[in-house]
Amino acid sequence: MKIEEIEKLAWSRSPDAREGGLLPAIVQDAGDQRVLMLGYMSREALHATLESGWVTFYSRSRAQLWTKGETSGHRLAFVSVAADCDGDTLLVQARPLGPTCHLGRDSCFADAPAAALAGLDAVIAQRERDRPAGSYTTRLFEQGALRVAQKVGEEGVETALAGAAQGDEKLLGEAADLVYHLLVLLRLRGLGLAELGEVLRSRSN
């Protein structure tokens, strides 16, 4: 969302007249798509979020702006924001730095589902950046694309054999190994689940 698009939102239809209207803002983990929390944004809060790179809300109880995690340090690194079809609700994508909930949970919604595949892709991307010692994923990155491509081939054969002649549990286990190594190979080429998703979406028509 661009700065000039903020005024096009439905602030005037907000039931809360403070700060010229507040819009509910649903925050979603940009990695695994888990819903993290619900807050409220004023124009000023949205401006602050876009300009600072940290998700900022309007506190109805304190009647002031507050940046999530300014006390705990568990901030939300801003990724993107989009409005719904009516322009009266915001969907914020962010990367949490620590637990979002004040109870120490990842999400304020205890049973909020997360996309396992997106979560795995996010972990692999982090492993590439940090290269923690002793990590199998780090070792794969250090071995390079040729070795990882070989692993993808091996896992592909094992998955095919499991699908042809073994039980469901074995097939699922081999398929999980295949997907993991494929995501590592994509990451080695500077790609990830987002780019793969674009290709799949383009083929769905």
Judgement on whether residues 8 and 92 belong to the same structural domain of the protein: yes
Q: Is the pLDDT of residue 38 over 70?
A: yes
At 29, is the pLDDT very low, low, confident or very high (cuts 50, 70, 90)?
very high
Has residue 185 been placed in a domain?
yes
Judgement on whether residues 152 and 75 belong to the same structural domain of the protein: no
Has residue 59 been placed in a domain?
yes
Has residue 104 been placed in a domain?
no
Tell me which of 96, 125, 150 is where a domain ends: 96
Has residue 103 been placed in a domain?
no
pLDDT confidence of residue 21 = 86
Judgement on whether residues 92 and 127 belong to the same structural domain of the protein: no
Judgement on whether residues 10 and 79 belong to the same structural domain of the protein: yes
Q: Is the pLDDT of residue 135 over 90?
A: yes
CATH of the domain at 46: 3.10.20.810
Judgement on whether residues 84 and 129 belong to the same structural domain of the protein: no
Q: Is the pLDDT of residue 17 over 80?
A: no
Rounded Cα–Cα distance for residues 54 and 176 (Å): 35
CB atoms within 10 A of CB 104: 10
Q: Domain total for the chain?
A: 2
Q: Is the pLDDT of residue 40 over 80?
A: yes
Tell me which of 67, 96, 125 is where a domain ends: 96
pLDDT confidence of residue 32 = 87
Show the tokens assigned to 153. 């081939």
Has residue 149 been placed in a domain?
yes
Q: What percent of the chain is modeled with pLDDT above 70?
A: 96
Judgement on whether residues 15 and 91 belong to the same structural domain of the protein: yes
Judgement on whether residues 160 and 77 belong to the same structural domain of the protein: no
Q: Is the pLDDT of residue 18 over 80?
A: no
At 14, is the pLDDT very low, low, confident or very high (cuts 50, 70, 90)?
low
Has residue 108 been placed in a domain?
no
At 16, is the pLDDT very low, low, confident or very high (cuts 50, 70, 90)?
low
Judgement on whether residues 68 and 144 belong to the same structural domain of the protein: no
Which residues form the domain of 185? 116-202
Has residue 137 been placed in a domain?
yes
pLDDT confidence of residue 184 = 98
Show the tokens assigned to 37. 């929390």
Task: Report pLDDT digits (tens) over 97-123.
Answer: 999 999 999 999 999 998 899 889 989
Q: Is the pLDDT of residue 146 over 80?
A: yes
Mean pLDDT is lowest, of 19-23, 90-94, 150-154, for 19-23
Judgement on whether residues 68 and 129 belong to the same structural domain of the protein: no
Residues whose CB is less than 8 angstroms from the CB of residue 86 and which lie 6 or more positions away in sequence, other chains included: 10
CATH of the domain at 127: 1.10.287.1080
Looking at every residue in the chain, the average pLDDT score rounds to: 92
